[in-house]
Amino acid sequence: MMADVSGFSRMMGADEDATVDQIKEFHRQVKLLVEQFEGRVVDTAGDSVLGEFDSVVNAVRCACRIQEEQAAENAGRSAEERIQTRIGIHLGDVIVEDYRVYGDGVNIAARLEPLADPGGICISEAVYQQIWNKLDLNLEDLGLKDLKNIEHPIRLYRVLRVGAPVAAPSPLANAPPRLAESPPVSAKTSDESAAAALLRPASLVPLSVGAFLLLSPIILFPSAGVLSTGGAILTSVIAGRVWARRSRQSGNFLLALGLGIASGALWTDWSRVTNALFVLGGLIVAALGVGGRRSKDSATG
């Protein structure tokens, strides 16, 4: 995690002594937060701070907390006194030598930091893949970007808005962070979030195909229920995936899929035995989803 103060040179030119004091306090606060989220500060240079974490989720949660606390402090400052920080986060191998870290992982994080908005966070595809189902973030896909001195383009994401405060991990010794208990970083309502997720091309296209197949006997030709059953299952897969992501409970995906399979019996003209198998199979899958949700609640309760 690379954090850097935006407009540092301008601040130094306006009031050098006050800026030095502010940067020292910035370093102190960031170090404290990095340690709260089970990381360590491995380097500070001027107005920048480099943090290393064993957990990429904790790195993102720490970055969100840094921006939240700075936003709260800036609310009581004049425009000239405000500190705006850009943060870049990447997940990758590093070389550890004399308590410092080197390598492409560090270089990429440093390249991401200037791409973040002041008060914002920019993450790599590697980070996104690890956090998409653990943290509820409002992200903008920036597409593939060529980064200076980095051989291959990297897909980047920008955190658009940091919402409610993020709880720090439990201080209990040797206790892993309980990610399921973390409050969401976004303050969107669930209805708006679900609607927005369903309208994304990755969800809307297969959802439209599923609806088309579901209604195919009406708008095309009778198919003995094959197309309609496939459409029902495809629709439930897409809806279940969105539901699982928004609720952060993977069991909801199986629950929706099970209901889709069971509903296949409503669309077929096959035998009662076949329809019973559809219902039985759907109920089994749905039960696995319910069981998964209960196990997760028990583990985090």
Q: CB burial class (10 A; 0-12, 13-18, 19+) of residue 151?
A: exposed
Side chain identity, residue 259: L
Q: What class, spelled out in words, does domain 2-187 have in CATH?
A: alpha beta
Dist CA 88 CA 4 (whole Å): 9
pLDDT for 59: 95
pLDDT in tens, 19-74: 788 888 888 999 999 999 999 998 887 778 999 999 999 999 999 999 999 888 88
The lowest-confidence range among 3-7, 105-109, 141-145, 270-274 is: 270-274
Q: Which two tokens stand for residue 190?
A: 């669930």
Residue 143's Cβ-count burial label (10 Å; 0-12, 13-18, 19+) is: exposed
Q: How many CB atoms lie within 10 A of CB 34?
A: 26
Task: Give the residue from 11, 4, 6 showing the smallest Cα distance to 80.
Answer: 11
What pLDDT digit, counting tens, does each position of 290-301 carry? 665 544 444 333
